[in-house]
Amino acid sequence: MSRAAEAQKLEQVVQKIEPRGKLLRAWRLKGGISAQMTALEVRLADGQTKTIIVRRPGALAVQQNPHAAADEFKILQIVQSAGVRAQTPYYLDQSGEIFPEPYLVIEYIEGQPEYAPANVKGCVFQIAAQLAKIHSVDDSRADLSFLPKQAERFVNQFREQPAELDHSLDEGRIRERLASVWPLPEVNRPVLLHGDFWPGNLLWKADKIAAVIDWEDAALGNPLVDFAISRLDLLWIYGVEAQQEFTRHYQSMTPFDFSNLPYWDLYAALRPASRIGQWAEGWAALGRADITEATMRAGHRLFVAQAFEKLEKSYS
């Protein structure tokens, strides 16, 4: 699509939500992998300006979930009403009249991810509080039945082993241990999961979390899934002490049973298998040249060793 044609379509989007508005400028936002995001600066009828985001799920996301745009729109409505800091959903278009694929229009929030906070303790407290808030969304008041089930996702991910195991990350040992106990007994009620809750999906402004973004991996399942993923990411980015602080805060804020956490830690530890080098690339550009493949591997070894140690103690 030419720039002129896209600009015309974006002007049509503006007219859908602000009939007397005028598109002043548009620019592509970086960071989205599964969706194309375009920011629009709009002049309103009263002369004020407003910035919004047009979010168009990518082909892979739509292939995996044809209702990706509608589901994300619902999720944003639900979490906002529950007090989670998230972008306001303004408009959902599934008509195909402007763009062939469904898209949604959401709030533009000023802010950026915080990878090197001055106050790490205050930072991890807020992160724990937001995750606890997400996991407290009451499914008796909000219909979450449209979400995919995390347990089914796990089965699909775990059913077939890759052709080559990443022995450098102890993938074979981890898979063997998980296979020996799966399926784990469900000791926690299913909750809303963000699916990829890490510092890269948190926008900060004035030392406070302004928004939790990128809900395309949301699911319904065990809260320890999100918790374990966050624990590993925080260890890599903020260090062991910050991870421990985060763990204590989250556990004090929630009523869940954490007895199976070591297994979910091992599940989280499988995510970077065969791609930890790719994950390590780019940290220098984000201002953290100290985060390297070597430091991530060291953190991963510690994380996995702690999980196995806890499991051995529980069986001794």
Stretch 35-56: mean pLDDT: 95
What's the first-to-final CA gap in the chain, in angstroms? 63
Measured distance CA(177)–CA(32) in Å, rounded:
34
Q: Can the peptide bond before residue 183 be classed as cis, meaning omega within 30 degrees of 0?
A: yes
CATH 3.30.200.20 fits 3-107, yes or no: yes
Q: Which helix (H) or strand (E) holds 229?
A: helix 223-238
What's the mean per-residue pLDDT of the chain?
93
Nearest partner of 216 among 72, 29, 84, 62, judged by Cα: 72
The alpha carbon of residue 66 and the mean position of all alpha carbons in its chain are separated, in whole angstroms, by: 19
- Say if residues 105 and 17 touch (Cβ distance below 8 Å): yes
**120-315 has which CATH code?**
3.90.1200.10
Out of 11-15, 183-187, 202-206, 243-247, which region has the weakest mean confidence (pLDDT)?
183-187
pLDDT in tens, 110-159: 999 999 999 999 999 999 999 999 999 977 678 899 999 998 877 777 76
Write down the pLDDT at residue 301: 98
Measured distance CA(173)–CA(183) in Å, rounded:
17
- Enumerate the domain spans of the chain: 3-107, 120-315
Stretch 149-171: mean pLDDT: 85
Measured distance CA(292)–CA(29) in Å, rounded:
26
Kindly report the three-state secondary structure assignment for every residue of 145-184: CCCCEHHHHHHHHHCCCCCCCCHHHCHHHHHHHHHHHCCC
Stretch 154-179: mean pLDDT: 87
Write down the pLDDT at residue 140: 67
Q: Which long-range contacts (CB under 8 A, 24 or more apart) does 6-10 make?
A: 9/98, 9/99, 10/38, 10/40, 10/54
Q: What is the DSSP string of 75-99?
A: HHHHHHHTT---PPEEEEE-S-SSS
Stretch 162-188: mean pLDDT: 92
Nearest partner of 75 among 44, 106, 47, 48, judged by Cα: 106
The tokens describing 311, both together, are 């499991």
- 3-state class (DSSP) for residue 188: coil
CA distances from 299 to 88, 103, 288 (A): 36, 39, 15
Nearest partner of 26 among 56, 49, 47, 6, judged by Cα: 6
CA distances from 301 to 111, 170, 270 (A): 33, 8, 12
| pLDDT at position 52 over 90 | yes
